[in-house]
Amino acid sequence: MSSFFVRKSWWKILSFVLLAYTIIGGFLLDVPRLPILNESIRNLYFHVCMWFGMMILFIVSFIYSIKYLRTSNHRNDIFASKFAAVGSLFGILGYATGTIWANYTWITDQNQSLANVLKEPKLIGAAIALLIYGAYFVLRGSFTDIDKRARVSAVYNIFAFAMLFPSIWIIPRLVGSLHPGAPGSESGNPALVFNDIDSRLRIVFYPAIIGWTLLGVWIATIKIRLQLLKDKTLINV
């Protein structure tokens, strides 16, 4: 990452502007009137954006893991681990917000039993994916040798990223899910067909994804810089 990207703060301000727009537009602009969801469709700007942010951060982490394996540059390992950490944070936040949303739509309004909601393949898949990333940090912590830690965890990170796709993107779409994108659902497949999201939602949704992701990147860069500082003091001592 060039110093331009780290120190110049235009994209940090952009993140703030986009998130302020997300809150103002997200609460005040018109949304489609949908049964069951009602006003809670506005969670699209918050809950769904957590998962999109997580996805983008995990992609960045994956790229840095490959870069580490190609170059053996220790910086790339730090980048990969910190982006994975913030990605996991977003994933946990997405999970937490999802439980609240599910409680008031699927359980209360749709009269789904708790057992049915727990069988929801996207919940299981997301839990598996997050646990796999959790194991990434356990793995990192279990090495004392820095080079070995970096190499093994880079390989593991690539595996974790590969597991992300079947568990949260493919399987829920194959076996049927309460989430949009399930076979035969009225909501279409909004992740792949852009027009399946109402245009009134899209004008807030896309800026919101960028805003939340930039915030995640910002937090990750702070963590990275802190780690680099720690490493420097370690070497100097």
24 binds another protein (CB under 8 A): yes
203 binds another protein (CB under 8 A): no
Integer Cα distance of 73 and 79 in angstroms: 11
Q: Which residue of 4, 7, 184, 186 would you call a contact of another protein, by CB under 8 A?
A: 7
Q: Which residue of 8, 39, 99, 193 would you call a contact of another protein, by CB under 8 A?
A: 39
- Minimum CB separation of residue 199 from another protein in Å reads 16
74 binds another protein (CB under 8 A): no
235 binds another protein (CB under 8 A): no
The pair of structure tokens assigned to 18 is: 């986009």
The answer to whether 83 touches 57, Cβ cutoff 8 Å, is: yes
- Looking at beta carbons only, is 17 or 193 nearer to another protein? 17
5 binds another protein (CB under 8 A): no
Going by C-beta distance under 8 Å and a sequence separation of 6 or more, which residues neighbour residue 92? 130
23 binds another protein (CB under 8 A): yes
- Looking at beta carbons only, is 1 or 192 nearer to another protein? 1
Helices (H), 103-237: 114-118, 121-141, 146-164, 171-175, 199-236
Residues 183-202 that bind another protein (CB under 8 A): none
The answer to whether 227 touches 41, Cβ cutoff 8 Å, is: no
- Looking at beta carbons only, is 167 or 213 nearer to another protein? 213
Going by C-beta distance under 8 Å and a sequence separation of 6 or more, which residues neighbour residue 77? 64, 65, 68, 149, 150, 153, 154
- Minimum CB separation of residue 227 from another protein in Å reads 11
The answer to whether 147 touches 130, Cβ cutoff 8 Å, is: no
- Please identify which residue in the block is written with the tokens 């009137």: 33
Find the farthest-apart pair of alpha carbons in the chain and give their distance in angstroms, rounded: 63
- Minimum CB separation of residue 203 from another protein in Å reads 17
Integer Cα distance of 140 and 151 in angstroms: 10
Please report, as ranges, the residues that interact with another protein according to CB under 8 A.
7, 9, 12, 16, 19-20, 23-24, 27-28, 32-35, 38-39, 215, 218-219, 222, 225-226, 229, 232-233
